[in-house]
Structures are given as C-alpha cells and as structure tokens.
C-alpha cells in the first residue's frame, strides 16, 4: 500500500496487513525512509495530546468544586459555569477532533494508495488555525463570552472560523480520495468521507449559524421558541456523538484491529451494515435526553425507537471486530495499541446498551438529571473515544517516527491509570445517580440528598486525578520517543535482559 505507480490497483482483503506490526508498544515499522510525509498527521496528533491534558485538568477543577465549592471562588474564570463548557467543548472539538483528524490524515493515504494527503501543507495550516481559534474560543468561555447553549457555547465568530477550517479539511479529504490508486473503497474510508460532511452540517444547523446576534429577536445561535431550540439543541448535541465521534471510532477500529493482528477484516458486509445503520438510525436518537419535557409524542417515539434500532449497526460492528480478533487474543496482552483499542471497543458496546435503556420512559424518569447521565456521557467520551485515541496515538507515533515508543513501562502505566481511573469514576457516578433517582422517587428533597453524595464526589476526584496523570504519562512517553534514540535504548535493554537470563559460565 502507499505506492502510486501510474495504474489503479484492486483492494486486497489483506491490504490492511501490509504494514508489519510489532508485538510491543507501538507497532513501529522497520527503520528507513517512509513514502508518506505524514506532516499533517503529526501536527494534529501532537496538538491533540496537549489538549487532552488541558481538558483533563479542567475536569479535575470541576471535580474539586463538587467537593469544595469555594475552592476557586476568588477566580471568576474558574467558576463552574465557565470551566464546564470549556471542559466539554475542549474534549469534543479540541482533544478528540484533533486526534481523529490526525489519525485520518495518517490512515487515508495508506488506504487509498496515495503518497500523503492531497495537500499536506493545507492540513498543517488547518491544524495551526484550529489550535488558534480553539484557544480563542476557550479564552472567551473562561472570560464569560458564551452563547449559553449546551455544547454550543462558542460565540458566533468562532463558530464561523471553525466551520471554514473544517470545510478546508473536507476539501483535502475528498481531493485525496479523488486521486486514489486503489479503486475499491475500504469501509474506514467511507467513514472518513461521510463523517466530516455530516458534522459540518450538524454544527452549522445546531449552532443556528444564520443568527449571528440579537437582530433576529433571539440570542445569538438560538431559535426564538425555547422548546423548539431545546429540541434542536439535543438533536445537534447527540449528533456530535452519532455523526462524528462514533463513526470515527468505528473507522479507526476497523483500521487498527486488522492491521495489528495481521488478519483480514472478518466481514466487509457487516462493516457496510454498521456504516449505513449508523447513518440511518443515529440522527433520531438525540431527543431521548428530553423525554421528560413537553416535546411532541411523535418525537419521543422516534427517539425511543431509533435508540433501539441503533443496536443493529452496533451488533454488526461488534460481531465484525470479534470475528477479526478470533485466534488473536494473545496479542491483546502483548500489543498495547490493540489493548487500548479493544478496551475502548468494550466500553463502546456498553455505552450503546446503556443508551438504549435510557430511552425507556420509566428508566429515563429514574435517571434523568442525576449523575447517572454524567456517567453515561463519560462512558462514551472517556471510556470509548479517549482510550481508543490514546492507543491510536501510541501506534501512529511509533509508525511515523519509525521507532518504538520510549518506554513500554510508561505505556503500561498509562493504560492502567486511565482504565482503572475511568472504571472507578464511572462506577461511583453511576451509584450516585441511582441514589439520587431513588431518593427523588421517595420525595426526598435534593437539598437532603446532596450530603449523601459527598463521598462519591471525593472518590470521583481521586479517580479523575488518575485519568489526568495518565495523560501526562503519555506526553512524557511520546516526547521522549520523538527526542531520544529509542531504538538504541531498546537494544541496550534487550542485551541486559539477555545477559541476565544467560546461564552462568561453566568452569573449565
């Protein structure tokens, strides 16, 4: 793969195994010059690592404020109402979006047979522009400049700038596919084409981009009717997950698992079912977040039915990945990028089962407005998308720099910190949510329920600190990989192990 010798080629079932995997931390290819420049991928990937730690620190500030609300009371820019949207927008559109585009810019040329993106320079320019505009957006939120709509807090000029940059990336992607030399399109490429297009439409409509200010009789970025705006807002917010974050998870998993296991994808048909099922069923799911509001009954029905129909593409994807992993589970323990990927895969399956139950009216009534919903959101954003991103970054960095990661031990620490940290985080919030829900059903006022949650919030902060630490460990590991001779370090480590295991010399 990756050659562009003046003729079209057919897609081989084993095409994804052309890049030799390694059993340790990064699957680094053999030393030597790469036919791929990967400059755009590097800029997006390395930027995303920094953003991950920044947004994790925002989350730790929020967790601290749940335990001691007055902890940062002297700093207006650290008030809950400002840090929370900075955290949420940062996770979705800074950390995850930059990681996804970096992975896309790495994988797409290898899947379509081009020597890099159509314009690596455009990809680099877009990475810098995205960083700058996102930094301005976060500064705006921390200083109180917000549109006040959940997941749509950025002010109108930032929205426009992000859409322009996004559109430039779409042009780069479509142009790369247009000059491909491998004519059949692998399923990951289907997602790479469709998902950015879907999100551009979702972002423009969801942020009511045609309302730049108060001249229309409504706040900037909002509809005039509050109920209509709430319905649109949750259509938009859930489609950030359904039309961008989730499809890209599928695309990256469909790439990493066959590549690392050196095994063809189990079923191309199942992969297309997962693609088209996602496209048809996910857009109607969002309003299950407002089942307890006075929205039309037909809209609630669509949300409930769509939430369960979504299990069709979920199970197609699940069967496909498990089929590909058959006979390869030993690699789960030896290859860390694969371990990250399959851990994220498990959490992805769980979040979809959980989401389907949230669409059932009695269960929704029990958990609505509780910490259960917060746990559910983190199951997707942290358990599935972030853990996947960590593994993908470890894999790609080892490939583009053509050397193993600096330390397998650090990668192990990173994995266990984020996995144990998230599992504990998710568990305590889920338990807190059920305690809230059952207490409210018994008529206990919220003011009397809150003291019972204090221990949960302390545990949340501790587990959150573990998650922050895992991101810092990855920054150290990636930084040392880039700036040190890891191949020589690994050679010395191997010699030391060999010497330690060698039998003692026999006296002559």
Tell me what pLDDT residue 223 has: 78
CB 426 within 8 A of CB 383: yes
Mean pLDDT of 393-422: 94
By CB neighbour count within 10 A (0-12 exposed, 13-18 middle, 19+ buried), where does 315 fall? middle
| Tokens 């859930």 belong to residue | 238
Tell me what pLDDT residue 220 has: 66
Residue 318 to residues 187, 270, 326, 362, 374, Cα–Cα distance (Å): 15, 9, 12, 28, 25
CB 410 within 8 A of CB 477: yes
How far is the C-alpha of 124 from the C-alpha of 40, rounded, in Å?
5
pLDDT in tens, 290-314: 888 898 999 999 999 999 999 999 9
Among 60-64, 101-105, 132-136, 502-506, name the one with the lowest average pLDDT: 502-506
Assign 9 to helix, strand or coil: strand
How far is the C-alpha of 130 from the C-alpha of 161, rounded, in Å?
8
How far is the C-alpha of 235 from the C-alpha of 304, rounded, in Å?
13
The answer to whether residue 23 scores a pLDDT higher than 80 is no
How far is the C-alpha of 217 from the C-alpha of 141, rounded, in Å?
23
Closest CA relative to residue 100, chosen from 218, 197, 209, 245: 245
Torsion, CA 205, CA 361, CA 249, CA 405, rounded to 10: 120
How far is the C-alpha of 371 from the C-alpha of 439, rounded, in Å?
13
Is 39-480 a domain of CATH 3.30.70.1710? no
What is residue 406's DSSP assignment?
S
Tell me what pLDDT residue 73 has: 87
Residue ranges in 207-267 assigned as alpha helix (H): 226-240, 246-261
Backbone angles phi, psi at 9, to 5 degrees: -125, 155
Counted residue by residue, the chain has a size of: 508
**Average pLDDT taken over every residue of the chain:** 88
Determine the straight-line distance between the first and last CA of the chain, rounded to whole angstroms: 55
Does the pTM surpass 0.85? The reply is yes
Beta bridge partners of 182: 9
CB 207 within 8 A of CB 221: yes
- What percent of the chain shows pLDDT beyond 90? 73
Assign 254 to helix, strand or coil: helix
**Cα 401 → chain centroid:** 23
Among 40-49, 91-100, 104-113, 482-491, name the one with the lowest average pLDDT: 482-491
Beta bridge partners of 9: 182
What is residue 212's DSSP assignment?
-
pLDDT in tens, 438-479: 999 999 998 999 999 999 999 999 999 999 999 999 999 999
């Amino acid at each position: 793969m990756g050659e562009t010798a003046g003729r079209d080629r057919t897609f081989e079932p084993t095409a994804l195994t052309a890049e030799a995997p390694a059993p340790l931390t990064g699957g680094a290819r053999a030393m030597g010059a790469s036919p791929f420049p990967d400059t755009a991928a590097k800029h997006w990937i390395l930027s995303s690592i920094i953003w991950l730690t920044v947004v994790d620190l925002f989350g730790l500030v929020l967790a601290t404020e749940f335990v001691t609300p007055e902890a940062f009371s002297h700093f207006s820019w650290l008030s809950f109402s400002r840090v929370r949207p900075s955290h949420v927008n940062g996770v979705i559109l800074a950390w995850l979006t930059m990681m996804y585009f970096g992975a896309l810019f790495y994988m797409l040329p290898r899947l379509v047979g081009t020597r890099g993106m159509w314009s690596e320079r455009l990809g680099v320019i877009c990475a810098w522009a995205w960083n700058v505009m996102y930094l301005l957006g976060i500064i705006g939120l921390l200083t109180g400049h917000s549109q006040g709509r959940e997941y749509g807090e950025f002010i109108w000029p930032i929205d426009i700038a992000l859409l322009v940059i996004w559109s430039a990336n779409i042009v780069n992607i479509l142009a790369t596919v247009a000059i491909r030399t491998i004519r059949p399109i692998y399923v990951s490429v289907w997602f790479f084409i469709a998902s950015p297009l879907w999100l551009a439409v979702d972002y423009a409509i969801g942020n009511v981009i045609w309302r730049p200010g108060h001249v229309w009789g409504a706040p900037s970025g909002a509809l005039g009717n509050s109920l209509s705006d709430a319905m649109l807002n949750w259509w938009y917010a859930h489609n950030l997950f359904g039309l961008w974050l989730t499809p890209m998870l599928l695309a990256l998993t469909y790439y990493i698992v066959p590549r690392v296991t050196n095994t063809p994808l189990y079923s191309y048909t199942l992969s297309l079912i997962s693609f088209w099922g996602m496209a048809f069923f996910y857009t109607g799911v969002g309003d299950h977040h407002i089942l307890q509001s006075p929205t039309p009954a037909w809209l609630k029905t669509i949300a409930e039915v769509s939430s369960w129909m979504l299990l069709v593409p979920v199970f197609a994807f699940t069967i496909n990945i498990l089929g590909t992993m058959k006979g390869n589970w030993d690699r789960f323990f030896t290859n860390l990028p694969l371990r990250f990927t399959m851990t994220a895969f498990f959490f992805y399956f769980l979040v979809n089962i959980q989401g389907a139950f949230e669409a059932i009216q009695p269960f929704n009534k029990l958990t609505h407005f509780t910490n259960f919903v917060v746990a559910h959101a983190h199951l997707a954003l942290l358990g599935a998308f972030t853990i996947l991103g960590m593994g993908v970054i470890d894999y790609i960095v080892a490939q583009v720099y053509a050397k193993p990661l600096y330390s397998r031990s650090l990668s192990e620490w990173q994995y266990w910190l984020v996995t144990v940290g998230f599992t504990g985080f998710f568990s305590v919030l889920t338990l807190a949510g059920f305690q809230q829900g059952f207490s409210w059903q018994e008529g206990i006022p919220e003011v009397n329920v809150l003291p019972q949650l204090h221990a949960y919030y302390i545990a949340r902060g501790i587990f959150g600190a573990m998650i922050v630490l895992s991101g810092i460990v990855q920054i150290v590991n990636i930084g040392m990989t880039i700036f040190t001779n890891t191949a020589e370090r690994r050679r010395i480590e191997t010699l030391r192990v060999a010497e330690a295991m060698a039998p003692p010399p026999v006296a002559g």
